[in-house]
Amino acid sequence: MEIINLEGTEDTPKILLDKGNGIFEISGRSLPEDSAEFYQPILDWISAYGEDPNPETLFTFKLEYFNTASSKLILDVLSSLEDIDGVTIDWYFHEDDEDMEEAGEEFSELVEIPFEFKTY
């Protein structure tokens, strides 16, 4: 599978999806101009990955900020991971960022995937 490796910008998160090395991470700030267009290749990649996934998939979210439009797409990403066996989510947040902690808790209640909450 091809690797998706997008460097983060002021408005878009860093994305690294690398099946071979078992690295699945979305980090930084997510407020792209067109969230649906930005996240579509990620959703397509996860859909293809789901047809032949690794035995275990640790998917890391380390977001500093995301806007409302991105939250819908983050939920879409989580929902697409829900259909893959062996997925665990690591949800990182700054220890003093209650909003990001609560966002992770809300997402964890909306999908049937185990979440681990970690501070950095």
Backbone angles phi, psi at 17, to 5 degrees: -125, 105
Contact 63, 27 (CB under 8 A): yes
Q: What is the spatial distance between Cα 43 and Cα 100, in angstroms, rounded to a whole number?
A: 22
Contact 38, 32 (CB under 8 A): yes
Tell how strand 23-30 and strand 57-66 pair up: parallel
Contact 70, 32 (CB under 8 A): yes
Say what the pLDDT of residue 61 is.
98
Say what the pLDDT of residue 23 is.
98
Q: What is the pTM of this model?
A: 0.96
The per-residue pLDDT for range 57-82, each reduced to its tens digit, is 999 999 999 999 999 999 999 999 99
Tell how strand 57-66 and strand 87-93 pair up: parallel
- pLDDT (average), residues 27-47: 98
Q: What percent of the chain has pLDDT over 70?
A: 100
- pLDDT (average), residues 26-54: 98
The neighbour count for residue 116, using CB atoms within 10 Å, is 13
Q: What is the spatial distance between Cα 28 and Cα 35, in angstroms, rounded to a whole number?
A: 15
